[in-house]
């Protein structure tokens, strides 16, 4: 009973951090809580949010995906290339693009699962190689000139709610559903917690890894498409460094990097915290060098606090 309370409190703690930040930023600049700004903020983090679903699964397995940023870039380029240089139908381009990103994820899965490489190395290799490929395809130049229709994913609205925010919300819902209601979710926790035991319980761990990396690739691809639509221009470096932003969202959200523990709701909070920080600090007119420091310190404090809690509880 007591342990349940402690756990719930822990899961809630990250929301308290979020509330605290919101209060601070609101005091500094009341515009922060303007509904308009909140929607802007949500739209700004939508790409992180979407990509974080797959990253959450990967991290739950105790692995990591450093290729997310490159997949976003690569997808940016090929989707733009399909539509602009090949004049492909928008939907077809999107489907092919998502397919491609999933296949890159499968490649990660292959290296991690079949070859047995540590995820950090495998996905870093993919990151490096596909960055080069994206640059070759684009020749280093941005690709633009999409149809108006394509703008809807990143710039459209349903009522007053921006479409990317809706996509993000749907992704979070889907992620939460997969984790809590399907057997895949149970498997992720089992594999992340004790891979040997999971294997001997009949879980095809290899396939689960393929699946999870493919999912991670897929969501990175989706984030890439939303980004492309949002900025209306495909750049081969668009996703550079995104993986760490996404990892930060996930880890802030309380997902254990050693695998086996974490919740989707925490990741939602983690994502919002990053959004609030990025948005709020600009509203507060904080020097961009100082912003780096704040980001580092917040990450250290949030995760550090969590770790100290855990340590204390363990004794």
Residue list 134-153, contact with another protein (CB under 8 A): 135, 138-142, 144-145, 151
DSSP 7-48: HHHHHHHHHHHHHHHHHHHHHH-GGGG-HHHHHHHHHHHHHH
Please pick, from the candidates 23, 31, 92, 121, the single residue that binds another protein as defined by CB under 8 A: 31
Residues that bind its own copies (CB under 8 A): 64, 111, 115-118, 120-122, 124-133, 135-136, 140, 244, 247-248, 251, 256-258, 287, 289-297, 299-300, 303-304, 307-308, 310-311
Partner that binds at residue 190, options its own copies, another protein, none, CB closer than 5 to 8 Å by kind: another protein
Q: Residue 116 Cβ, how far from another protein at the closest point, in Å?
A: 15
Q: Whole-number minimum distance, CB 41 to its own copies, in Å?
A: 20
Shortest distance, CB of residue 64 to another protein, whole angstroms? 18
| Residue 28 binds which of another protein, its own copies, none (CB < 5-8 A, kind-dependent) | none
Contact flag: residue 49 with another protein (CB under 8 A):
no
| 89 lies in the binding site for another protein (CB under 8 A) | no
Phi-psi region of 285 (alpha: psi -120 to 50; beta: other; left: phi over 0): left
Q: Could you tell me which of 15, 49, 53, 45 has the C-alpha nearest to residue 280?
A: 45
Query: What residue has token string 């640059």?
Result: 135
**CA-based R_g, the chain, Å:** 20
Q: Which is nearer to its own copies, 158 or 292 (CB)?
A: 292
Contacts of 3 (CB under 8 A, 6+ apart): none
What gap in Å lies between CA 261 and CA 270, rounded to an integer?
Answer: 15
Helix or strand (DSSP H, E) at 96: helix 90-109
């Amino acid at each position: 009973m007591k342990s349940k309370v402690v756990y719930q409190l822990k899961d809630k703690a990250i929301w308290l951090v979020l509330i605290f930040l919101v209060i601070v930023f609101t005091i500094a600049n009341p515009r922060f809580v303007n509904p308009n700004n909140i929607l802007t903020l949500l739209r700004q983090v939508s790409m992180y949010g979407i990509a974080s679903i797959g990253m959450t699964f990967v991290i739950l397995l105790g692995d990591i995906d450093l290729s997310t940023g490159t997949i976003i870039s690569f997808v940016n380029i090929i989707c733009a290339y399909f539509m602009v240089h090949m004049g492909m139908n928008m939907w077809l381009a999107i489907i092919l693009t998502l397919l491609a990103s999933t296949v890159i994820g499968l490649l990660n899965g292959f290296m991690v699962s079949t070859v047995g490489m540590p995820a950090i190395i495998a996905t870093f290799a993919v990151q490096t190689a596909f960055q080069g490929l994206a640059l070759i395809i684009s020749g280093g130049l941005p690709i633009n000139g999409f149809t108006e229709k394509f703008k809807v994913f990143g710039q459209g609205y349903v009522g007053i709610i921006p479409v990317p925010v809706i996509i993000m919300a749907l992704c979070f819902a889907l992620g939460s559903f997969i984790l809590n209601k399907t057997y895949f979710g149970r498997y992720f926790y089992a594999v992340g917690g004790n891979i040997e035991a999971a294997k001997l319980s009949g879980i095809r761990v290899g396939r689960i890894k393929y699946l999870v990396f493919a999912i991670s690739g897929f969501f990175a691809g989706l984030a890439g498409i939303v980004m492309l639509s949002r900025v209306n221009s495909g750049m081969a470096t668009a996703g550079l460094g995104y993986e760490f932003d996404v990892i930060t969202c996930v880890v802030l959200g309380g997902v254990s990097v050693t695998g086996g523990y974490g919740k989707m709701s925490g990741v939602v909070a983690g994502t919002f915290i990053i959004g609030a920080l990025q948005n709020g600090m600009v509203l507060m007119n904080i020097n961009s060098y100082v912003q780096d420091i704040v980001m580092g310190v917040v990450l250290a404090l949030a995760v550090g606090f969590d770790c100290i809690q855990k340590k204390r509880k363990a004794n």
